[in-house]
């Protein structure tokens, strides 16, 4: 039973990386922008956060550095895509390739570095409950933040005026422009917010979750986060659920290996990627359903005429 609690705890913590990144990408996509550079963003933010943590010893500063690095790179991406009308897919790919090279380049000095023992966070009383205590109430604050973020984002998108404007920009930039909204600035704001969240996810990965720096350490998490927005049909709550599902699959892999299951470890490592494909297929099977939920202008450039 205790083992189950630990597995659940690890699932939540592993899912948090994906959840934060995917929520950020969700904001982008709701404004009509697909950022295929998520993987590169997360890597650069991971090293930025890790280096900050090594030098200052402050996790909070590390998160700030990660988010700032993510937002900075996203600003470059946004400038190119929104103002120069470059192809979103190609630009995102450039960002991914640049990010993995650049993070490896900067990170060389840090491959041997270790962070001090991570602090434990126990919620008084609740943490001592049997089963649910170790599973739910001994998590890093970022885990709860991801949940809060999901709620906040759902409220923002569906209950606030600004969220309505954001969605309208994603559905029909022409109409939003005709109504007098600064479409390009709104899109840039969405890209920056998304980049900052991807950055935060990257920093959480390298500073808290692992905690160390390895070249290419995101291992496709940015791409899985991109896939998550589609699985979730662009809904925040479903993004969170999907992220936990994937966190669970990843954890199950370690768990099974620990249990000595007679299966090649490579097969288990491939499990998250295979399940991404399977879920993607299941969700996309009905094109009408995807079309009904997908922001209509996704991936399309908008350039105000005149």
Partner 1 sequence: MFKLEPRAQASRAMSLLSPVIALLLTVLIGVLLFSALGKDPVRALQVFFVEPIRNGYALAELSIKAVPLVLIALGLAVCFRSNLWNIGAEGQFVLGALAAGWVAMQAGPQTSRAIVGAILAAGVLGGMAWAALVALLRDRFNANEILVSLMLVYVAEMLLSWLVYGPWKDPQGYNFPQTITFAATTKIPRLVEGWRMNLGVPIALAAVAGLWLFLFRTYRGFALQVGGLAPAAARYAGFSSRSALWTALLLSGGMAGLAGALEAAGPLGQLTPHVPAGYGFAAIIVAFVGRLHPVGIVFSAVLMSMFYIGGELAQSRPGLPKSLTGVFQGLLLFSLLACDTLIANRIRWSKKA
- The binding track of 196-235 with respect to partner 1, each residue x by CB under 8 A or -, is -------------------x---xx--x--xx--x-----
Which of 105, 122, 155, 261 binds partner 1 (CB under 8 A)? It is: 105
Residue in 75, 86, 113, 133 binding partner 1, rule: CB under 8 A:
86
- CA nearest 200: which of 24, 74, 30? 24
Window 162 to 191, contacts with partner 1 (CB under 8 A) = none
Using rule CB under 8 A, residue 94 touches partner 1: yes
| Among 108, 132, 151, 178, contact with partner 1 (rule: CB under 8 A) | 108
Kindly state the smallest distance separating residue 36's Cβ from partner 1, in Å: 7
Site for partner 1 (CB under 8 A): which residue of 89, 131, 148, 179? Answer: 89
| Under rule CB under 8 A, residue 80 binds partner 1 | yes
Nearer to partner 1, 91 or 150 (CB): 91
Mark 243-282 with x for binding to partner 1 (rule: CB under 8 A) and - for no binding: ---------------------x-xx-xx--xx-xx--xx-
**Closer CB to partner 1, residue 139 or residue 229?**
229
**Do 137 and 126 touch, CB atoms closer than 8 A?**
yes
Number of residues that bind partner 1 (CB under 8 A): 48
Residue 252 to residues 9, 112, 244, Cα–Cα distance (Å): 12, 28, 12
Task: Identify the residue among 7, 54, 75, 104 touching partner 1 (CB under 8 A).
Answer: 104
Residue 284 is a binding residue for partner 1 (CB under 8 A): yes
Minimum distance, C-beta of residue 303 to partner 1, in the bound complex (Å): 8
Given a contact cutoff of 8 angstroms between Cβ atoms, the answer to whether 75 and 194 are in contact is no
The residues that touch partner 1, with contacts defined as CB under 8 A, are 36, 40, 76, 80, 83-87, 89-91, 93-95, 97-102, 104-105, 108, 215, 219-220, 223, 226-227, 230, 264, 266-267, 269-270, 273-274, 276-277, 280-281, 284-287, 290, 303
């Amino acid at each position: 039973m205790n083992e189950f609690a630990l597995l659940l705890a690890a699932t939540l913590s592993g899912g948090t990386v994906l959840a934060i990144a995917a929520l950020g990408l969700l904001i982008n996509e709701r404004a009509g922008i697909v950022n295929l550079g998520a993987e590169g963003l997360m890597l650069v933010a991971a090293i930025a956060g890790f280096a900050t943590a090594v030098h200052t010893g402050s996790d909070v500063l590390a998160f700030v550095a990660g988010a700032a690095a993510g937002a900075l790179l996203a600003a470059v991406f946004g400038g190119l895509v929104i103002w120069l009308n470059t192809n979103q897919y190609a630009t995102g790919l450039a960002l991914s390739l640049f990010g993995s090279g650049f993070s490896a380049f900067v990170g060389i000095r840090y491959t041997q570095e270790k962070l001090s023992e991570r602090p434990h966070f126990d919620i008084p009383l609740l943490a001592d409950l049997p089963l649910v205590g170790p599973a739910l109430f001994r998590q890093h604050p970022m885990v709860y933040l991801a949940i809060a973020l999901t709620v906040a984002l759902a409220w923002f998108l569906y209950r606030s005026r600004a969220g309505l404007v954001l969605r309208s920009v994603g559905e029909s930039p022409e109409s939003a422009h005709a109504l007098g909204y600064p479409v390009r600035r709104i899109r840039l704001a969405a890209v920056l917010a998304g980049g900052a969240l991807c950055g935060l996810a990257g920093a959480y990965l390298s500073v808290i979750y692992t905690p160390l720096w390895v070249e290419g350490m995101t291992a496709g998490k940015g791409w899985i986060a991109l896939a998550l927005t589609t699985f979730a049909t662009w809904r925040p709550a479903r993004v969170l659920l999907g992220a936990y599902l994937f966190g669970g699959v990843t954890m199950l892999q370690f768990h099974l290996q620990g249990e000595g299951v007679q299966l090649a470890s490579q097969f288990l490592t491939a499990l998250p990627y295979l399940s991404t494909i399977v879920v993607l297929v299941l969700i996309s099977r009905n094109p009408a359903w995807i079309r009904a939920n997908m922001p209509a202008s996704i991936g399309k450039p908008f350039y105000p005429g005149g």
